[in-house]
Structure 1
C-alpha cells in the first residue's frame, strides 16, 4: 500500500513539474531566440549597407583615376609618337609618365604598342624589372576590352577611310578600363586607356590603338581617403595569402579574376548593441522564473521521495554493499543464476562484465583509504546513473565490480555500454583539494556463446579483464579461448625466466655512446637479452613486462647490474648505463644491494649511471626520491630516461638534481621531417645545459640527425647510426676498430692543417 502511494505521488509530481518546467524553458528559449535573431538581422543589414558604400567609393576612385589619366592622352603629339615607327622615350617620360606622377601620384607607367608589347616602362626604380609576363597576362583582359571598344568606335566611310567617332554617351570612359592588380606583393589601382587623336578623326586602317597603363599603389594614405569618403573607419588592406580575420570584407580581384587581396573593417553592429542593452534584463527575469520553478519542483519531488527512501534504505542494508550501496557478491551471484536459468536466455543473450579501477592501490597509498572509499562511492553513483534497464551492477570486493547486461545478444551492444562507462570516467573525482582521475579496465563474457554457468561466465570475464589490463589498461576485452592459452604462456615464461636468472642463462648487450665533439666512445648502455631454450630469442618487450608483473624484475635488474659491472672491467674508461625499473626502487634494500655489487667487483661508482623514467616518481613516492638521493651520495650518476615523453618531466627536474638527460627517441626520429621536433630537441638541449646536465640523444639512425644534434650542443650520441647493441666480445672489436678510425681521422685532419699552414 505504501509503495503504491509512493508511485502515485511520484506520478502526480512528474505530471505537474515536467510540463511546467518545459513551458518555462520553451518560453525563455523563444524570447532569447527572437532577441538574437533580431540582432543578427540588424547587423546583417548594416554590414550590407557598409559593403555597398565601400564598393561604390572604390568605383568612384577608379573613375577619377581614369579621368586623370585621360587628361594627358587625348592629344595628337602622343598619338603620333605612339603610332609612328620610333618612340621618343624621353618625350614620353617628361610629358606623360613624369607629368602623371607629379600631378596625380601615378608611380608606375607602361605603354603598350598596337601589338600589346611594352614599348615604354617607368617605375620608382629605373633598374627594377617589375613588368613581367604574369603581370601583362593579368592586365590582358582589361587591355583587350579597351581595344575592342576603340575598334568599335572606328566607323567605315564610302571612301574606304575610317572615321573615329566614340560614343561617349554610352560611357564617359568607354576607352578606359580600371581595376586592381598585384605587383611584387603590393596592390595597385590601375587605369588602362587607349591613346586617341584629338583633332584628326580620319584613319586609313582599322587597327588597335596603343595603350597607356598607369598605376597608383593602394597604400595607407589612399585607403584612409577611401575610408573618409565612405565614412568607414579602420579599413585594413591584406594581400594574399591573407591571415584569417573576422568581420565584413570585400575581395579584391585582378582583371583575370584571380583574388589578390581584401579590405576588411570593423562593422557597426546596431543589433549587437541592442542585444547588449536588453539581454541583462531578460536574463534576470529568466533566472527568476527558472529559479522559482526549480524551488517548486524540488519541494514537490522531495515530498514524494521521502516515503520511498525509508523503505529503500532497509532493503539496501540487507542486499547491498554498505559502502557503495551496490549489490554485494552474494546478491549478484543469485541474480546471475536466476538470469542464466531463464529458458529464453539462448535467444535473448546476456553479457557479464568484470571490471576494476586502474591503479587503485596508488590512491590508497598516496591519499589514504578515506580517499579510496570516496572514489568507490563516486564511481558507484555514476554507474547507477548510466545503468540500462534490467541491468545489475555489484561491488565484488575492493575496487572490483561485476555487471550483468540482460538482453545483450552480441559484442556491439555490450561495447555501447562499456564506451558509456569509459566516457563517464573522464570527469575526475573531487576529494578535498585533490582531483582524482580514475580509469577502468573491463573484461566481458557473453552467454550463451561463452557458456551458461554463472561461475564459468565470471571466470572468463575475469580472464578477459586480465587481458585488458595487460594491454595497457583503460580498455576492454572480450573473452576468447586463446586468452586462456595466453595466460598459460605467460605463466610458463615467468617460470622459465626465473630459471634463466637462477642458472645464469641470460645475456647482456651493450650499445655504445660517443662524444659528439671528439667522436670517441665514452659510455655504453647495458641491455638484457634472453635466448630461450627451444623457442629462440625473446624480445625484451615480451619478458620485461612479465618480470614486472611477477616481481622478477628485482632479481633480473640486479643480475644485469652484476653482469655489467663484471664485463665493464675490460673497459675502464667507459661509463656504464643500467636501466632501473620503478618496481626495484620499492624493493627493500635496493640501494644496499647496488652498493654491495659495486664493492664486490671493485667498480668505481662514478662510472655507473642509473637510468630511470619519470614513472619512478608516480604518486610522489618519497621512498623512491630518498633511494635516488642515496645513490647519488654513493657517487653514482642518475639519468632521466625518455625525457619529454611524459606530461610533467619539468617538475622532476626541480625536485631532483639529475646528472644526465636522455632525449626521448620519438623526438629524434621525427627531426628529419618535423621542424617542431627539431625545435623541441633544441629546447631540451638548452634546458639541460642550463641545469649543468649531460645531454644524451638515443635512437639516432641517420647522419643528418647526428650532425644536427652535435651542432646544437648535445654531448653524447647513441643509436644504430653508431652501432647496434653488441655482445661483450663484439664490443671489444668495435672499440678497437673505432679507435683506429678516430686515430686515422685525427691524422688526416693534422695533415690538412699542416698543408693549410704551408700555404
Structure 2
C-alpha cells in the first residue's frame, strides 16, 4: 500500500512538477545566458577602451620625450656645430648628448650626419658597441621621416633663396619622429629629430640635415608614467604574453613592425563583476520559484513525500559530509571503484587527486573552529565549481579532499584542471569583514599507469601530496616511482633510528671553539653521529630531518643533551653547546627535562649552552620565547646558530634572550678577498656586540680568516683550522695538548703561517 502511494505521488510529480520545472529552468537559463552575453560584450568593450588608453598614454610619453629633446636640436650653436666639417665631437657629446642624459635620462644618443653616416655615438656607460647595423636598420624609417620633415620645411622666397620654416611652427606637429626599438633585449623609447636653427634662416639651397637620435629605457620611470596615466592595475612589461583570461595586452613594435614586447595589465571586467553580483540573487530567485512550484504541486501528497524525503536524507547523510555536503570517505571509495571499472572497460585513464589545505591548523588556532568550518565550506563550494563534468570531489577528513577525474586525456590536461583549482582557491574567503587566503597542496596518481586498485591509487596520490608539501606547499606533484622509494627509505630510516636510540647505538662528536687569540678552548659543540652496525655512516643531514618529520627529534635531542652533559665533567671549565630543534621547545615540559638532566649529571647550568637556528622565528610562537627565557633565568646560555641564513630581524634579536650569536659559515667562507662578505661579517660582529652578545665565527679554515676576525675582535672561532669534530677521548687529548705543551707551539704556528701569507702577498 505504501509503495502504491509512493508510486502514485511519483507519477503526479512526473506529470506536473517536471514540466513546470522545465519551463522555470528554461526561463532561468535564458536569463542567465542573456546576462552572460551582455557581460561578455561589456568586458570586450572595457578591454578595448583600456587598450586605447594605454596607446594614448604611450603616445603622450613619446611626445614628451620628443619635447625634452627639443632643447638641443633647435639650437643655433648646435646647428652650426654639426654642420661644421671639422665638428668638435667632444662639444657635441658634452653639450647635446650628455646634457640630455643628465637632465632627462636619455642613456644613449647617436648623431647621423647629412649623408646618413654615424657622426657621434654616446652612452652613459661609455660603451659604443650598442650601436649596431640592425639597430640603425630598425630606426631608419623614423630617421628618414625626420630628415624629410626638415627638407620640406624650406619655403622658396621670391629671390630664389629658401627660408627655413619648421613645420612644427605652422601645423603644431612635432619636428621629431618617435618610436620603440629593442636594445640588448630591452625595449627603449627613441626620438629622432633634425638639428635645426632657432630662427627662420634663409639658405641658398635645401640640404639634408644632421639627425640626433636619443634613446631612453622603457622599463622603469617611463613605464611607471604610462601606468600612472592609464591607472590600470598589475602593469608589467614582458618579452611576450600568452593570451590569458583577465589580462589585457598592448603590443610594442619597432618602426619596421618588428615585435619588441608587450605591456600587460590586469584587465577590468565590469561585465563579469556585475554578473558575479547578480548571479547569486538570480539563483536565489530561481530556487524560490522552483520551491514554490514544488510545494504547491506536492501539497496533497505531503505525507507520502515526507517519507520519501526522510529516506533520501538518511541515504544522503550516510554518504555525504555534513559540513561541506560533499561525498564522504566511504562514498568516495565506492564511486572511485565504479569509475575505475568503467575506465578499464573503456580503455581510458582515470586521475585520483589528493588535496590538502596548507596551514589549516593556523586558521583554527588563530580564528577559531567556526572560521575553519566556513573556510571548509567555501573551499568545497569552489572545488565543485571548477570540477569538470566527469569529475567527483569528496571530503576525506578535516582539511583533506579528494577528486576523481575520469577520461583523463594526458598529464597536460590534468595540469590545466589543477591550475584552475589553484587559481580558484587563491581568491580570498570572506568571513565577516576578514579575508582569509587559503592555498592547496595536491598529489595525483593516474590509472592504469600508477595502478588499478583504488587503495593503491589513493596511497600513491597521498605520496605525491606529501612530495608537494615537502617542496614548499601551494603546488602539485604527480606520482613517480622515486617518490615511493623515498617514502620507503625514510620510513626504514625512521625505524632504524628509533631502534638505534633505544639501543644507545648513536654517538657524539665534539668540535672545539677557541678564543680570539686561538690560545684557549672555551667551548665545544656536541654533534650527533650515527654509524650503523654494518659500518655505514649516516650523515646528520639525512637522519636529523627524518627525526624532525617523524617526531623522534624529542627523543634524539634529549639523548644528545644527556650524553653531552654526562661527558662535560671530563673537560673542566669548558662550556658544552648542544643544538636544540624548535619542535623540542614546543614540548610543554622541555625546560623541566633540561633541569632534570643537569641535576642527574650534577652539571652547573652555566656550563651548558643551548643552540637554536633561525627557524625558531618562523612560527612566531610565544611558547618558544617563554622556554628560552626560563632557560636563561636558570643560568643556561642561549646561542643563535647560522645567523643571517633565514628569518633573522633586529626585532627578534631584541625579543629573544640570546647570549651568543654564531655567524653562518657561508659568510666566513666567502669573505676571502670579498669586500661585501667582509663588510657583512663586520656588521654582524658590531651588531652582536651592541646587543651584548658573544660572537662566534663558524667554518674557520685559513689563517687569513683568523687574522681578519682577530682584527675585528670576534670573541670565538670554530672550524677545521682549529679542529675537526672529535670523539670524546680524542677531545680530551686535544685539550690536554692544546692547553699545555702544544699551546705555545700552536700560537707560533699561527704567527708563522701569517708571516708566510704576508710574504706571499708582498711578492
Fold conserved between structures, TM > 0.5? yes
How far has the Cα of 1:492 moved from its partner?
Answer: 3.9
Cα displacement string for residues 588-642 of structure 1 (whole angstroms, at most 9, x for unaligned residues): 4322221122222222211211012344455443333222222111100111223
Give the distance between the partners of 1:493 and 1:62, measured in 2 at CA.
84
Give the distance between the partners of 1:473 and 1:290, measured in 2 at CA.
30
| CA distance 1:32–1:514, change in 2 (3 Å) | same
Provide the residue aligned with 2:631 in structure 1.
631
| CA distance 1:736–1:431, change in 2 (3 Å) | farther
| CA distance 1:676–1:507, change in 2 (3 Å) | same
**Equivalent residues of 2:661, 2:693 under 8 A apart:** yes
| CA distance 1:407–1:32, change in 2 (3 Å) | closer
Q: Secondary structure at the match of 2:342?
A: coil
**Equivalent residues of 2:442, 2:477 under 8 A apart:** yes
Aligned residue runs from structure 1 range 651-670, under 5 A:
651-670=651-670
Provide the residue aligned with 2:98 in structure 1.
none
Provide the residue aligned with 1:570 in structure 2.
570
Worse-matched range after superposition: 660-669 or 476-485: 476-485
Give the distance between the partners of 2:416 and 2:118, measured in 1 at CA.
64
Cα displacement string for residues 456-500 of structure 1 (whole angstroms, at most 9, x for unaligned residues): 322333344445556665554444556556555444433332332
| CA distance 1:426–1:658, change in 2 (3 Å) | farther
| CA distance 1:670–1:400, change in 2 (3 Å) | farther
Provide the residue aligned with 2:405 in structure 1.
405
Provide the residue aligned with 2:153 in structure 1.
none
Provide the residue aligned with 1:743 in structure 2.
744
Give the distance between the partners of 1:291 and 1:107, measured in 2 at CA.
59
Provide the residue aligned with 2:28 in structure 1.
10
**Equivalent residues of 1:252, 1:263 under 8 A apart:** no
Provide the residue aligned with 2:461 in structure 1.
461
Q: Give the unaligned 5+ runs of structure 1.
A: 71-104, 109-140, 146-170, 172-176, 187-231, 233-243, 254-258, 280-285, 752-759
Q: Is 1:692 the counterpart of 2:685 in the alignment? A: no
Give the distance between the partners of 1:357 and 1:299, measured in 2 at CA.
30
User: Given the alignment, which residue of 285, 304, 316 partners 1:303?
Assistant: 285
| CA distance 1:627–1:107, change in 2 (3 Å) | closer
Give the distance between the partners of 1:296 and 1:489, measured in 2 at CA.
54
How far has the Cα of 1:430 moved from its partner?
Answer: 6.1
Q: Secondary structure at the match of 1:408?
A: coil
Give the distance between the partners of 1:471 and 1:292, measured in 2 at CA.
39
Aligned residue runs from structure 1 range 14-33, under 5 A:
14-31=32-49, 33=51
**Equivalent residues of 2:62, 2:191 under 8 A apart:** no
Give the distance between the partners of 1:599 and 1:536, measured in 2 at CA.
35
Q: Is 1:608 the counterpart of 2:626 in the alignment? A: no
How far has the Cα of 1:447 moved from its partner?
Answer: 1.2
How far has the Cα of 1:713 moved from its partner?
Answer: 4.2
How far has the Cα of 1:441 moved from its partner?
Answer: 3.8
Cα displacement string for residues 230-273 of structure 1 (whole angstroms, at most 9, x for unaligned residues): xx9xxxxxxxxxxx9998677999xxxxx9997989xxx9xx99
**Equivalent residues of 1:386, 1:421 under 8 A apart:** yes
Give the distance between the partners of 2:359 and 2:124, measured in 1 at CA.
62
Give the distance between the partners of 1:560 and 1:659, measured in 2 at CA.
21
How far has the Cα of 1:48 moved from its partner?
Answer: 4.3
| CA distance 1:702–1:369, change in 2 (3 Å) | farther
Provide the residue aligned with 1:84 in structure 2.
none
Provide the residue aligned with 1:451 in structure 2.
451
Provide the residue aligned with 2:513 in structure 1.
513
Cα displacement string for residues 507-555 of structure 1 (whole angstroms, at most 9, x for unaligned residues): 1011122223445322111010111122511112222233233333222
**Equivalent residues of 1:62, 1:179 under 8 A apart:** no
Provide the residue aligned with 1:387 in structure 2.
387
Provide the residue aligned with 2:595 in structure 1.
595
How far has the Cα of 1:571 moved from its partner?
Answer: 1.7
**Equivalent residues of 2:62, 2:189 under 8 A apart:** no
How far has the Cα of 1:586 moved from its partner?
Answer: 3.0
| CA distance 1:260–1:392, change in 2 (3 Å) | same
| CA distance 1:320–1:706, change in 2 (3 Å) | farther
Q: Secondary structure at the match of 1:341?
A: helix
Aligned residue runs from structure 1 range 258-337, under 5 A:
303-304=285-286, 306-307=288-289, 319-337=319-337
Q: Secondary structure at the match of 2:75?
A: helix
Give the distance between the partners of 1:434 and 1:547, measured in 2 at CA.
37
Give the distance between the partners of 1:711 and 1:375, measured in 2 at CA.
57
**Equivalent residues of 2:700, 2:717 under 8 A apart:** yes
Give the distance between the partners of 1:33 and 1:544, measured in 2 at CA.
56
Q: Secondary structure at the match of 1:348?
A: coil
Worse-matched range after superposition: 715-724 or 487-496: 487-496
**Equivalent residues of 2:508, 2:727 under 8 A apart:** yes
Q: How many residues align?
A: 585
| CA distance 1:38–1:330, change in 2 (3 Å) | same
Worse-matched range after superposition: 731-740 or 294-303: 294-303
How far has the Cα of 1:395 moved from its partner?
Answer: 0.8
Give the distance between the partners of 2:354 and 2:125, measured in 1 at CA.
65
Aligned residue runs from structure 1 range 711-750, under 5 A:
711-739=711-739, 740=741, 742-744=743-745
Q: Secondary structure at the match of 1:504?
A: coil
Provide the residue aligned with 1:543 in structure 2.
543
Give the distance between the partners of 1:296 and 1:423, measured in 2 at CA.
22
Give the distance between the partners of 1:333 and 1:559, measured in 2 at CA.
44
| CA distance 1:683–1:317, change in 2 (3 Å) | farther
**Equivalent residues of 2:605, 2:635 under 8 A apart:** yes
**Equivalent residues of 1:614, 1:649 under 8 A apart:** no
Give the distance between the partners of 1:738 and 1:40, measured in 2 at CA.
73
Give the distance between the partners of 1:361 and 1:552, measured in 2 at CA.
21
Give the distance between the partners of 1:58 and 1:620, measured in 2 at CA.
68
Aligned residue runs from structure 1 range 215-234, under 5 A:
none
Q: TM-score, normalised by structure 2?
A: 0.64
Q: Secondary structure at the match of 2:460?
A: helix
Give the distance between the partners of 2:330 and 2:750, measured in 1 at CA.
82
Provide the residue aligned with 2:534 in structure 1.
534
Give the distance between the partners of 1:389 and 1:307, measured in 2 at CA.
26
Q: TM-score, normalised by structure 1?
A: 0.64
Give the distance between the partners of 1:28 and 1:604, measured in 2 at CA.
75
User: Given the alignment, which residue of 72, 83, 92 partners 1:54?
Assistant: 72
Give the distance between the partners of 1:699 and 1:368, measured in 2 at CA.
46
| CA distance 1:302–1:434, change in 2 (3 Å) | closer
Give the distance between the partners of 2:410 and 2:269, measured in 1 at CA.
46
| CA distance 1:65–1:721, change in 2 (3 Å) | farther
| CA distance 1:647–1:40, change in 2 (3 Å) | same
**Equivalent residues of 1:410, 1:446 under 8 A apart:** no
How far has the Cα of 1:346 moved from its partner?
Answer: 5.8
Provide the residue aligned with 1:373 in structure 2.
373
Provide the residue aligned with 1:216 in structure 2.
none
Q: Secondary structure at the match of 1:397?
A: coil
How far has the Cα of 1:393 moved from its partner?
Answer: 1.4
How far has the Cα of 1:404 moved from its partner?
Answer: 0.7
Provide the residue aligned with 2:559 in structure 1.
559
Cα displacement string for residues 412-451 of structure 1 (whole angstroms, at most 9, x for unaligned residues): 4434444554555656656678776655443332212233
Larger Rg: 1
**Equivalent residues of 2:580, 2:612 under 8 A apart:** yes
